[in-house]
Amino acid sequence: MLFGLKNAGATYQRMIDIVFKNQRGRNLEAYADDILVKSQSMKEHLADLRETFDAL
């Protein structure tokens, strides 16, 4: 996908929304090229990171 196109940002965000649909709002927030994984403990964080990397 060329980033010079006018709709490239919306296309990228839609793809991120699809890839992380099961995590968004639960343990992950994503906007543009920023992805934040949030957890309440280190053990949960490692599991959440694994889930995120598996989705990628």
pLDDT (tens digit per residue) in 10-25 = 889 999 999 999 999 9
Angle at 22 between CA 20 and CA 24, to 5 degrees: 60
CB 37 within 8 Å of CB 48? yes
Task: Write the CA distances from 29 to 3, 16, 25, 33, 50, integer angstroms.
Answer: 22, 10, 6, 11, 15
Q: Give residue 1's pLDDT.
A: 58
Question: pLDDT digits over 31-53, tens only?
Answer: 888 999 999 999 999 999 999 99
Which amino acid type is present at position 35? Answer: I
Q: Give residue 3's pLDDT.
A: 59
